[in-house]
Structure 1
Amino acid sequence: MAERVAVVGAGTMGSGIAQSAAACGFEVALVDVSEEALERGMRSVRANLERRVERGRISSEERDGVLGRISTFTSLESCAGASLVIEAVVEDIGVKREVFRTLERVVGEEAVLATNTSSLSVAEISATTRRPERVVGMHFFNPAPVMRLVEVVRGPRSGEEALARAEEAARRMGKTPVRVSDTPGFIVNRVARPFYLEALRLAETGESPARIDASLRERGFRMGPLELADLIGQDVNLAVSESLFRRYYCHPRFRPSHLQRSMFEAGLLGRKTGRGFYAYGPNGRAQQEEDARPSPEIALRVISCVVNEAFFALEEGVASAGDIDRAMQLGANYPKGPFAWAEELGARQILDTLDSLHRLRGEAYLAAPALRDRAAG
C-alpha cells in the first residue's frame, strides 16, 4: 500500500499540496470541516489536472490516478494512519494550535506533524503538543503544484528525524527543500520584503511606478515590484509587511508603506479590483502610459536593499548563503539570488549605496555587519 499523507485544509494551498502529494504516488486524505470547501478544493485539483492533460503534460490515465489517490473527509480522525500530516488552515494561531492538539490524539506516535504557515511561529504552534520534536514547518509556495520550493522550518524543539522526513517527502513531491530556522518570514517572505518596500518608498517620493517596474525588469526580474504587488493584491502584500514589522519589533527596515495603506483603504487593490498602481482593462492587462525608461540607479537601490536583508538573514543563521540564493530563485522567481547579485554588482558598490541612503534617510538603510565585512575584503 502507498504511504499515506493527510492535508488539513482544502483551500488554495491545501488542495494544491494534496495534488502535489497524490501526483507522486502518496495516498492523500484531504480534510476540511466544510463539505463545500472540499468540493471547491477538488474542483480546483480537477481543473489543474485537466489543463495539464490538454497541454500534453500528463495522460488522462495519469489524471485519473491522481484523482483516485485523493479522498476527502470532514473529520480529523481520518488522519489516523498518516505518516505525515500537513496543516494548511487559516493563518490564525488559535485555530492552528487546536488542530495540532487534536491531531496529536489521532495520529500514530511516529507521524510527523507539519504546518504550512507562512507567517506564524513553529515554536508557538508546537508548544501546544506533547511531542514538539515531531512538529516542523513545510512552507509551500502558491501555486503548490507548480512552485518547486518548500521551506522546511526548524523550530527550536524540532527533531532531526522529523526534519529529514519532511525534506524527503518534499523531494518525493518533486520539490526542492531548503532548511530554514524559525524566524519571521523564514527566507523568502523576509528577503523579498525590501523588493516591495524600497519600490514603495521610491513611489512615495514621486518616482513613476512604471519606471520603477521597468528598471527591475531590465535587470532580469519577470515583473517589477509594484506590478507584482498589484497581481498579489495590495491588501495581501500590505498584510505580510505589517506582520513582519510587528514581529521584528518595528525595525525601520520593515516599516510598511503609508502609500500602500492608503491604497488599501481606498480599495485600490490591484488587478482584482481593476486598479492599483495601474488601471486594468477587461483582459487584465495593465494600461501603462507613464514614462517607463529604466533607471540603473533605481534598480541598484532596490537590489541593494534585498542583498542587505539577505546578509542580515545569513548573520542570524536563518539559512546558508547558497540556500538563501536557491530559495529566492525558486520561491520568488528572482533571476539570481542576493549573494549572486552581491558578486555581480560588488559588495562595495552595494554598501556605498546603503551608506549614502542611511545618511540621508536613516535606520531603514543600516548595512548588515556581514555585508560591511564582505565589502572590506
Structure 2
Amino acid sequence: MLWESHSIGIETCDRVATLWMSADPNGTTGWNDSLAQDWEAALAELEARPHLDVVILRTRNGGPWVATADPESLLALSTEPLMQQWVARGQAICDRLARLPMRTLALLEGGCTGLGLELALACDYRLGVTGPDAGFGFPGVSSLQLPVWGGLPRLAHFVGLNRALQLAQSGERISPRDAEKIGLIHEVVAARRAAIHLRTVSDSLQDRKGRLRLQWRTWQKSWEDRMSWMRRKSCQSALRSGQSTLASSAAMRAAICEILLRSAESPVDGQIAERNAFAKLLPMAESQSGLQLAVAAEQPLKPVAELVNPLPNLPMQVGVVGGGEHGCEIALWLAFQGREVILHELTAEAIQAADRRLQRSLERRVQSGWMTPLELTQIRQRIQTTITWNGFDSLTWVIEAVDEDTGVKMTVLQELEERCKPRTILASTTSTLKLEPMQSEMRRPGRFIGIHWPRSPLQAPVAELVAAPLTDRGTFATVHHWLRGLGQLPVAVSDLPGRIVQRLMLAGWSEAVILVSEGLPIAKVDALLRDYGVTMGPLSQLDEFGLERIAQLAEQMQHARGDRFAAALAMRPLRELGMLGRSSGAGFFEYENGTQGFSNDLAQMALWRDNEEDTISGYVFDPVQVLQDAQKRLLARVVNEAAQCLSEELIASPLTLDLVVVRATGWAAPQGGPLRLVDQLGVGGFVDQLHDLAKRYGSRFEPALELQRRAEANESFYGTESTVPTVPTIPLRQAG
C-alpha cells in the first residue's frame, strides 16, 4: 500500500493507482471532517505523482460511495460563514479531483447518489455495475440537501439541461441502464464481469493520448447550444417564484435554477451560488427536521440491561414459511442481501405459485434495468422452494409469513418447534394478531418475536419489532442486530393489532377512498398529498399493495380493534370488476406492463357514493375550498392516528414516531412527520380544526385523547425535546 488513512488507501501497479474508499472509523457512511481530511491528503499524494497514467476510484467492500453528509456535522453548522466554508471545502475537493494530471476512472458498485455522485462526476470515466440497489441520482433534494459541490453544472454537461433539471428537482433514482442511456455514466457491466472490464477500460485510458479534461469554455458553449429560450425563461420564472415565497419546495427549485444559470456564466459565479443556496436552505425548519430524523435513525435501541453473551453473527441461511406475496418479498430481500433462503409451502401448487411470483418480480427488475438476466439467475438460485422441512433443522432464524389466522400460525409455529433447533429464533410477520396467545402455546416462548414490515422490505427499510411478554431480551437484541446488519431500521412497538405504520396508512387510505366516493377526481386526490411532499399518493399506494389485500387487512383490523377502516376500504365494486391494482392491470389507475397510466374513469364511476351516507360530505360548489378541505382531511386522519399511537405504543419520543412514518410511508421528509406538523400549526389550533372537521364530515375526525390532553396543557410535541431522541428501553423478560 503506497499510502493509507482511516478511510482511504492508495496502491499502485504499472503506472495505475487504485484509490480504495471505505467507511469512516465510526462505521457510518456520512461525510464528516475526518473523511474530508483523508480525501485532501489522498489527493495531495496523487498530485505529487504526475507520472501515473490512471487512477481508479472504488470502494473496498464493493458497496456504494459515500452518499450523504453526516447529519450531526450539518446540525453543528450554526452560522452562515461555517456553512459556506463547508461547501467551499467540498467544492475544492471535487475541483482538485477533476484537475488531477492523470486520468480518473470511477468504478461505481452498488450505485452512486448524493455527494458520491458529485465526486464521480468529477472523474473522467464512470463505469457502473448492475445490482438490485444500484441507483443513480440526487435523492437528498427531497430533504433540501442539494448537490452544491459542482455536481449540477457537471450533470448538465453530461446529460443535458432538461434531464439535469428533472433529476435535480425530482430526487429520482434511476437504474444503471437508464443512467448509461442518458450519458450519466459511460458503461454498465454485470458484477461478475466488473473486474475484467475494469482492467480493459483502464488499459484503454492508459493507452489513450492527450487529456480527457472537461474544459469549462467547451461546456459553456454546449450549455448555450442546449439551453432553449423557453427553458431559460422557465428557470428564471422558477427563480422569481422561489424568491417570492417561503415554501421549501419553491426555495429548492429556485436554488437549483440559480446555480445552473450562474454556472452558465462562469464557474466562479456558479460556486458562489452553490454556497449561498446551501446557507439559505440549511437553516430552514424543513432542513433541520430532516437532519434530526437522520440523526434519530442512527440511534441504537438498547435493551433493559447489558447482555452477558455477545450477539451471534448474521446467519447466512434463513427459512421463510409461506410463499404468498409477503413471503416472496421477504425471500427476495434476503437473497438480495446475500443470504441463502429456504422457502416452504404446503403443496406443490403453492410452490408453483410462489415460483411464478419470484420470477415475475425479478423479471420486472431486469426489464427496468436494475439487474441483468445473469444476476436474475444468481438471485433465484439463492432461494430454494420446498414442500418438505429438509434443512430447517440447521437454521438459526426462521420467519413465518403465512395467512393472518391464529390457528394456522399456531400450527406452523408448533411444527417449527418440532423441526428446528432449540436455539432457533422464530419470528412471525403478523400485523393484525396479538403474539401473546400464540406465545402462550409454545414450548420455547423466549425464542419467539414479531417482525412486521409495513411495506415490502425491498421498498421501505423499516421493520416493527414486537416483543411479546415472554420474549427473552437476548432474542430481541439479536434480531435487532441482524436487521440493522441487513440495512433495516428496526423500531420497537407494542403487541397491538395494526402496529404503528399500518394504522396510519389505513386511516389515510380510507379517507382517500371516501373522497373518491364523493366525486373528487382520482388524480386530484393523489396530487393533494404529492403536492405536500409525499412521495406516492394514497390511491397509487392502494394499487401498489393490491385492493384485495387491503380489503382483507381492513376487515381483520375491524375484527381486532373495531376500527372504521373496513367500511371505506372494502372497495367491493372494484373487486367485483377485477380491478385489483397494479398486478391486475387496473385499479384506481390503469397500468400497461406495470407502468402507471391515466386514472381509471370506470373506477371513479363504480365508487360513486359507495359508502355510508354519514361518511360522505354534502356538495360544496367552491372548487378551491373542496381541494383545501380534502387535503386537510387526508392529513388530519393520519396525524390524529399518529397522536393516538404515541400514547399507546412503546415509541419513546415524537421524533422516533415521525422517523418511522417518514421512512415507511414516504411522508414528506422536509415537513418532519405528522407530529411535527401539529407543532407547526399549534396543538390547540389543530384540535379546533379537528372539531370543525368532525362537525362537517363525521365523528372519525374527533381528536385523539393525546391531542386533547396536550391542547389543555398547552404542551407541544417538540417544545421540550432535544435534537437527539432518548433511546427507548424495552421491558423484556430475562433469559432463564
Q: Please give the TM-score of this superposition, normalised by the length of structure 2.
A: 0.46
Distance in 2 (alpha carbons) for counterparts of 1:276 and 1:246: 26
CA contact (8 A) 1:139 1:152 kept: yes
Tell me, yes or no, if structure 1 residue 335 matches structure 2 residue 648.
no
Task: Identify the residue that residue 153 of structure 1 maps to in structure 2.
Answer: 466
| Alignment-mate amino acid for residue 331 of structure 1 | A
Aligned equivalents of 2:370, 2:551: Cα separation in 1: 36
Residue 134 of structure 1 is matched in structure 2 by 447
Could you say which residue in structure 1 is the equivalent of 2:683?
347
Paired amino acid for 2:700: A
CA deviation profile, 1:304-359 (whole Å, cap 9, x unmatched): 11111011111012534333223222222222432233234443342222111223
Change (3 A) 1:179 1:268: same
Q: Residues 69-121 of structure 1, C-alpha deviation per residue, up to 9 Å, x if partnerless?
A: 44333223531121111011222222211110111112112111101223222
Cα distance in 1 for residues equivalent to 2:371 and 2:568: 44
Which moved further from structure 2: 88-97 or 106-115?
88-97
Question: Residues of 2 paired with 1:76 and 1:313: CA distance?
Answer: 39
Q: How does 1:52-63 map to 2 (within 5 A)?
A: none
- Equivalent residue for 1:120? 433
Aligned pair partner of 1:366 in 678, 702, 715: 702
Residue 223 (1) aligns with residue 559 (2): no
Match of 1:175 in 2: 488
Structure number with larger C-alpha Rg: 2
- Native 8 Å contact 1:280 1:287 kept in 2: no
Q: Which residue of 1 aligns with 2:642?
A: 310
CA 1:13–1:236: 2 relative to 1, 3 Å: closer
> What is the rounded CA distance, in whole Å, between the counterparts of 1:52 and 1:277 in structure 2?
23
2:589 matches 1:285: no
Residue 219 of structure 1 and its aligned partner are, at CA, apart by: 0.7
Which segments of 5 or more consecutive residues in structure 2 lack a partner in the other structure?
A: 1-312, 605-621, 716-736
Distance 1:256-1:319 versus aligned 2 partners, 3 A rule: farther
Q: CA RMSD in A?
A: 3.4
Match of 1:324 in 2: 657
Give the stretch that moved more between structures: 151-160 or 110-119: 151-160
Distance 1:270 1:51, change over 3 A: closer
Aligned residues: 375
Residue 186 of structure 1: CA displacement? 0.7
Q: Tell me which amino acid in the other structure corresponds to 2:676.
A: A
- Among all aligned residue pairs of Structure 1 and Structure 2, give the percentage whose two residues are the same amino acid: 31
8 A Cα contact 2:363 2:376, kept in partner:
yes
Distance verdict in 2 for CA 1:113–1:239, change over 3 Å: same
Determine if contact 2:507/2:637 at 8 Å carries over to the other structure: yes
Deviation at 1:303, TM superposition (A): 0.7
Contact 1:325–1:338 (CA under 8 A) maintained in structure 2: yes
Question: Could you list the runs of 4 or more consecutive aligned residues of structure 1 that deviate by over 4 angstroms after TM superposition?
Answer: 42-69, 265-268, 270-284, 288-294
Deviation readout 1:114-159 (Å, 9 max, x if unpaired):
0122322222332331222221111235543343122112223322
1:92-131 to structure 2, matched below 5 A, reads: 92-131=405-444
Distance in 2 (alpha carbons) for counterparts of 1:4 and 1:270: 33
Partner Cα separation in structure 1 for residue 485 and residue 644 of structure 2: 32
Specify whether residues 142 and 45 from structure 1 end up closer, same or farther in structure 2 by C-alpha distance, changes over 3 A only: farther
Q: d(CA) in 1 for partners of 2:580 and 2:373? A: 38
Amino acid paired to 1:147? A
Determine the C-alpha separation between the residues in 1 that align with 2:372 and 2:398. Answer: 28
How far did 1:12 drift?
Answer: 2.8
1:287 and 1:305, CA in 2 relative to 1: closer, same or farther beyond 3 A?
closer
- How has the CA–CA distance of structure 1 residues 21 and 358 changed in structure 2, closer, same or farther, with 3 Å as cutoff? same
